[in-house]
Structure 1
Amino acid sequence: MTTDTAVVTAQTWTGAAARAEELHRAYGRGGAAVRALRGVSVAFAPGTFTAVMGPSGSGKTTLLHCLAGMDRPTGGTVWWGGTEVSRLPERRLAELRRSRVGFVFQAFNLMPAMTVAQNVELPGRLAGERPDRARVLDALARVGLAGRERHRPGQLSGGQQQRVAIARALVARPEVLFADEPTGALDRATGHDILDLLRAGVDHDGQTCVMVTHDPVAAGYADRVLLLADGLLVDDLVRPTAAQVGERLSQLGG
């Protein structure tokens, strides 16, 4: 399921599409504070597919949100290419996030009253940008939804709705695509279609994809699997099989 694309190890920083250095994230204060991340350092090479896994409460979703600029770390830094984004003012961060990264949610997060095309255009419209119709149609064609631009989400299957969400993330042609359990709400066959789509973006378009998943089979599509436990990075597996991932997760209590 993976290619021979070279993958970066956790200690390789030069030229990374995204990286985190000594990342900490705590919620609450004092003795009641929950330390979701405790000094995680990791880098993602351009054109690679990484799965992030771990037991419930391990910090994997927090790591993804911090990497994507959707949550602020309490300590450490986040970089997109050569730009440190963890301390940018919110407006500047939002501008960069729209142009540099895409995000796909498990629950699709589509607006039911809008057409497929309008949903794909929405982030740009909220930013005050004029929609580029050609880009929208191209993004929909790339995810296999050409001709569906006038449909509404309720007229589509769950897998098709997730394709709309991916098209929305791809329309700005981001360097890095972050996906939080993108197949979690889908049946297995439809989930494989979505994973094939994410894999194709890496193999054919040189995109960098970072995906949180709980499914070892989904992780088998990745070049690399990061394992977190108790807010720490505890393993970094290169092209493991689903069985190897499952065995390692069981050792962590996942």
Structure 2
Amino acid sequence: MAEMTKDFATGPAALARDLHRDYGRGGAAVRALRGVSVDFAPGTFTAVMGPSGSGKTTLLHCLAGIDRPTRGSVFWGGVEVSRLPERRLAQLRRSRVGFVFQAFNLMPAMTVAQNVELPGRLAGERPDRERVREALARVGLAGRERHRPGQLSGGQQQRVAIARALVCRPQVLFADEPTGALDRTTGHEVLDLLRSGVDQEGQTCVMVTHDPVAAAYADRVLLLADGVLVEELSRPTAARVGELLSRMGG
């Protein structure tokens, strides 16, 4: 495990090489990804966009080790994680990667602190209370440790979900439509939080979004269509992203 951690510090924070993902078999098979290759440099923010069914969430799940590619490779640093046994992959994912879902995925009967601790507890680890407090403070929820999700706004619940992803101090944070269930003002607050993690902590963030305004927070935008990477846009603005999506019909 120590060797894996060391390798993580070399090269791109994450990368995919000739990534394919098929669902089903034979004539009924759906080809969600068709040979995607892409690098994510350390300390960068990338937005992944495309029409519905373009493969953007599948790409994110494969990059994060949640799903396995049919063929091709995924690397975190110098480690080819797409070929790791499930147990070793889970160990590395818990210590080096964070994932934020659109639906928050919080346990309503647990306190905020318990929700943040949950991934570690499921892995059989003793909770580090100081680390939990630090993660909650970083997302602006200091002092809310004993609240339950139902006592929080939607934006605050998403902040808890981000704190849960940050508690292991991940080098790469993957986010799947993190503002999709939020109003625009609260969404901007969450995006500011993701952006500050890149700028102040040197984190790498990869975010799937359908919103050109959200994509404008990123350093670059990747556009997918029919499982293929079709365009890359650096220094995006909402207007430029909107134009590209309109051309693609998405």
Superposition TM-score tier, normalisation by shorter sequence: over 0.9
**TM-score with structure 1 setting the length:** 0.94
Structure 1 residue 126 displacement after superposition: 0.3
Structure 1 residue 66 displacement after superposition: 0.1
Alignment match, 1:121: 117
Q: How high is the sequence identity, in percent, across the aligned residues?
A: 87
Structure 1 residue 253 displacement after superposition: 1.1
1:196 to 2:192 alignment: yes
In the alignment, the residues of structure 1 paired with residue 247 and residue 70 of structure 2 have an alpha-carbon distance, to the nearest angstrom, of 29
Alignment match, 1:161: 157
1:110 to 2:106 alignment: yes
**TM-score with structure 2 setting the length:** 0.96
In the alignment, the residues of structure 1 paired with residue 161 and residue 237 of structure 2 have an alpha-carbon distance, to the nearest angstrom, of 28
Structure 1 residue 87 displacement after superposition: 1.1
Structure 1 residue 149 displacement after superposition: 0.3
Alignment match, 1:11: none
Structure 1 residue 100 displacement after superposition: 1.0
Alignment match, 1:206: 202
Alignment match, 1:100: 96
Alignment match, 2:81: 85
Instruction: Please state which structure has a larger fraction of its residues in helix.
Output: 2
> What does 1:51-90 align with in structure 2 at a 5 Å threshold?
51-90=47-86
In the alignment, the residues of structure 1 paired with residue 53 and residue 235 of structure 2 have an alpha-carbon distance, to the nearest angstrom, of 24
1:245 to 2:241 alignment: yes
Does 237-246 or 61-70 show the bigger shift? 237-246
Secondary structure of the structure 2 residue equivalent to 1:221: coil
**Paired amino acid for 1:227:** L
> What does 1:138-157 align with in structure 2 at a 5 Å threshold?
138-157=134-153
In the alignment, the residues of structure 1 paired with residue 224 and residue 95 of structure 2 have an alpha-carbon distance, to the nearest angstrom, of 29
Unpaired segments of 5 or more residues in structure 1?
Answer: 1-13
Alignment match, 1:48: 44
Alignment match, 2:3: none
Question: Cα deviation per residue 1:104-139 (whole Å; 9 max; x = unaligned)?
Answer: 000000000000000000000000000000000000
Unpaired segments of 5 or more residues in structure 2?
Answer: 1-9
Question: Cα deviation per residue 1:157-207 (whole Å; 9 max; x = unaligned)?
Answer: 000000000000000000000000000000000000000000000000000
Q: Which of the numbers 30, 34, 38 marks the counterpart of 1:34? A: 30
**Between Structure 1 and Structure 2, how many residues are aligned?**
241
Question: Cα deviation per residue 1:39-97 (whole Å; 9 max; x = unaligned)?
Answer: 00000000000000000000000000000000000010000000000011111111111
The RMSD of aligned alpha carbons is: 0.6
Alignment match, 1:5: none
Secondary structure of the structure 1 residue equivalent to 2:83: coil
